[in-house]
Each structure stands twice: as structure tokens, then as C-alpha cells.
Amino acid sequence: MRDKGYYVAPVLTPDATRFVGAVTFSALASEPARTSLYGDPTTPIPHTYLGQHAALVVVAPATAHLIARYATGLADDLLTATLLATRAPVLLCPAMHTEMWEQPSVQENLATLRRRGVMVMEPERGALAGGDEGVGRLPEPTRIAALVEAIVEGYRGPFSGRRVLISAGGTREAIDPVRVLSNRSSGRQGYALAEVAARQGASVTLVSTVELPLSLDTVRAIDVVAVESAAEMYDAMMKRSLDSDVVIMAAAVADFTLTASKEKLKKREGVPELRFTPAPDVLAELVAQRQRGQLIVGFAAETTNVMANASAKLREKRVDLLVVNDVAAPGAGFMHETNEVVLLDRDEVAERVSLRSKEAVAVAILARVAAMFEDGPS
């Protein structure tokens, strides 16, 4: 960054100095490295000075310990105090062993920070300390530097400039003016996807059958379209998919509909005969009219033979990514605050996302989608 003309002020935690001395950073940076909240006569309140003058704060590497302290609002050293004292964008570059990276607590802490607007550069797969190999390696400095430049120029996440269309909730098919045929979908996963995508820079349209609260920091970036039936969902999604870069069908759309009675059915008239007809296959039609360069994500809610049924759906629907949900599993699926899924790509390569909040699941889904931008759609 110095070679590119940036003014770099290094801050080291005590543990960082166990690896590289402060003198080395002082020689490379624009000013001497700081390591303590106290003892600098030139800057008696260093964390506020650094926080107020920064255009960007980068933590590289960000350890699991640092991430936890930042997420809980601790300010027990110069680095965490500076993070709390700045209004500048913050970029975390996590690096740790795979087992630590995959811990739900680490992912929940990152989800909390992302919700607050912190940007996270995902670690790479490669050689780790102690001769191990896996996900958790710090990205190469050139890649971090390139992202830093983009953020300074206005980039705010992997979905910056992208238009994302998301569906949420379970459709309701009218039986009569009072009764409906529906399912147990709460819409929480779709809303979580919308919020996370908006925080990562996307312009989001959410087509939903339910009304759930949105965070104040994202509500202006999300256009909510209210629908009820499968037919209304079909019309809204088909119309808005034409100019979308990513389409995510998280809604549970009815497979069947029926012609509703114009008047309330009466019990005294006996058991009614309901005649069902197929509802529009929204996902299949979205794939059929797929726009050039567009990525389409589908969901599969299963209860038995989960992966076999999901693989069959992936081949049938031809989506770029299928989010497989065992809704019979404890704590997962409909009506829960948590979820666990399997991400099945178009080559049928599976990635398991362990049980965690639906927001953290959304982060994992969107990270996989962002990684597919380079590959392009099938």
C-alpha cells in the first residue's frame, strides 16, 4: 500500500509482536507502529486519533480471538479500541485453522459483524501452520491490497452493483374467502438473504408472501413486493428477473392450486370436493428465460432421501446452486430461527453448512454465489 501512495499507520496487538517486531512495521509503514493505548506523548489518545483519521481500517490477519472481541464490543487493547472509535469502513481478513474457521461461534461472530457493516474477505484454501492444509489461509497480500483499493474507491462487498431478486415465504392458495391452502414456511431465510445481500452492496428486490421486520441499515436498499398466491409469485418473479444478476427462489411455492369458491363454504353443506390443478413452476420458468450471465439459486425442502431427491431436482431444474434443506432435522427448516443446509452446485459438489442462525446460513449461501460470479452460469 505504501508503494501505491497510501499513508499506512500500523497497529499491532501484543501477540502480533511475537511473530514480527514493531521495528519492522515501523520501517515499512508511513509512521512508527503503535502497540499500546498508553505511553505515546505525541498522541495521548491514539485510538480516537487513528479512528478519526482513517479512510479504512484493515485487520490482516484477523484471528478468531480478535473477531470475538470485536463482535462483543471489547476495547481492551489499541486495535479493538480503534475499531470501536472509527466510522471508516472496516475490512477483516480472517486467518486460522480450518477447525476454528468452521466453528459455529466464529461464523456467528462474523455474521454479527457483517450485520453491522463490517466487510470480510474469506480465507483461502492452502497450507496452514503445522503442516496442515485446508480453508483458513490468509489471502495473498496482493489480493488484499487490490480489495483495499476498491473499498477506498467505494466498493462495499461482493454484490456491489449487482441486482439480486429473492423470494420469501409460503404461498397461499385460496379455498374460499376465509380459508387457504398453504405451508409452514415463515420467510425468515428469504429475509435473511435479502438483508445480507443488501449489506454486501446489492440492490435487492424481495418478493414475499409474509411481512417481517427489516434492519434499519438495509431497509432502504430492499424493495419489498407483497404477493400471496403461486400465480402472483410467478408474475412478480418473471417480470423482475429480466434485469436481475442473481435470482434466489427461497420461497416455498405451492405445487397445486384450485379454483376458489366465491362464498365461504358451510360445514352444514357437507365435505367439499376440492379439485386441484398444477400451480406455476416458478423456478423452472425462471431457468427457461434465464438472462445471459444470470445466476439462479433454488431451494429443496426435503424430509426423506434428502440428497437423492435433491440431486434429482438439481438435474431437473438446472439451477446453478441448490440449497438443500432437511426440514425434518431438529432446529432446521420451517419456523425455526436456525437452519442447516447443504449447498449443491451444478456439478453436484456438496458443501455442508452446519446448524447456525438463518443470517449466518445466508452469509454462507451468498459467499458461494459470489464465488460463482467468476465461473459464470451453466
**Single pTM value for the model:** 0.73
| Last residue in a domain, options 90, 120, 152 | 152
Q: What is the mean pLDDT of residues 190-219?
A: 90
281-302: per-residue pLDDT in tens?
999 999 999 999 999 999 999 9
Q: Which pLDDT does position 374 carry in this prediction?
A: 60
| Active-site residue, selected from the candidate residues 109, 183, 305, 309 | 183
Domain CATH number, residue 175: 3.40.50.10300
The answer to whether residue 109 is catalytic is no
218-273: per-residue pLDDT in tens?
787 899 999 999 999 999 999 999 999 999 999 999 999 999 999 999 999 999 88
Q: What is the mean pLDDT of residues 84-108?
A: 94
| Last residue in a domain, options 152, 172, 206 | 152
Max CA distance (Å), the chain? 89
Pair (223, 295) in one structural domain: yes
Pair (117, 183) in one structural domain: no
Q: What is the mean pLDDT of the chain?
A: 93
Pair (169, 259) in one structural domain: yes
Pair (96, 210) in one structural domain: no
Pair (128, 167) in one structural domain: no
Pair (291, 363) in one structural domain: yes
| Last residue in a domain, options 152, 171, 193 | 152
Pair (364, 240) in one structural domain: yes
Q: What domain range includes position 115?
A: 16-152
Q: Which pLDDT does position 376 carry in this prediction?
A: 47
Pair (180, 273) in one structural domain: yes
Pair (135, 194) in one structural domain: no
Q: Which pLDDT does position 238 carry in this prediction?
A: 97
